[in-house]
Structure 1
Amino acid sequence: MKLTLAAVVLVATALLAGCKDAGPAKPETTAVPDSAAALTLTVYKTPSCGCCKKWVSHLEQQGVVAQTKDYDDLSGIKERYGITPQYYSCHTAVSEQGYAFEGHIPAKYIRKFLAESHPDAIGLSVPAMPLGSPGMEVEGRFMPYDILLLHKDGSASVYAHISDAAMQ
């Protein structure tokens, strides 16, 4: 019993020593989550698509958390999020807010879109698979492309024109 009581006194003394006044208190800082680091996308892709895997790598290199889900047929996913066939590409990503990102969109434009207000939009699309876009890199080759803003009414407008690889 004496050993146990001595151990309790020793531990209590050590804990209280850490509570001594070390001078004026430092102001508390609250860590504000970095919205850029906190971006998570669910990426729907086919299991065998190599460029989809490269695009996911692009996202991850840009600090995006990409949770991949493989499906043999993505048409149901695209329909669920309101993406019509003329805007299809090989994969569809969905943000936690429910916005859809179709195709090889550079991560920085996804972040930009999510930081803005788009009440009439369902998301962004890079239709087809433009050469030189993230995941479609071929050394020395680049094809300018548009990132489209997809509207809830089924229409689209140009969100950004990517004229060279440095803009990605």
Structure 2
Amino acid sequence: MRSVNGRRQADEEKSHTKQLEEEKGAHEEMMAPPVRWLLREISGAHGCNAKRQAAVKFQVVGDQGAEGRKAFFIEIEARPGQEDAVVQMLRDIRACVEDEPATGPWFAVRFSTTRFGIFEAFPDLAGRQAHVDGGGGDIFRDIERMNTILNVAARVHRVDVLMSKDRFAPL
């Protein structure tokens, strides 16, 4: 009787492992290509612990969507004592986007002492991808820096811009 229960338990563990691998694969497919590449590079070069550590420093959610105006809304939480370093990271990203012709309105915001955000808009999918491939994306791919200053994974939301008001009204 014991061997039957042992086999059943082993079968359940195999099934659970297979389910986790399928979920991981589906999750990676939802990510932008640079994120999938990054996760694969880290797991191959530095082992499982480094992969787990790096993978939690940013997460991309949302679909690419149909063609049209696009944006990123990024939630960032600083490690306690690293708030100034996060503000510097935001300055560094802003400096990069100044030279990106397809990055339009760009805002860095602070919600609390440790919680920050970025909202950045693009005219289309190609503009958003150019931003990912550019300097701002490079900053987020600096895993050592992100691991040092972020408390939890930065959450990068891909969003469609439905409507906007792009100018301040005259005073």
Give the TM interval when normalised to the shorter protein. Answer: under 0.3
Q: Max radius of gyration: which structure? A: 1
Normalising to structure 2: TM-score of the pair? 0.24
The structure where strand makes up a greater share of residues is 1
In proportion to residue count, which structure has more helix?
Answer: 2
Higher relative contact order (CA 8 A, sep 6+): 2
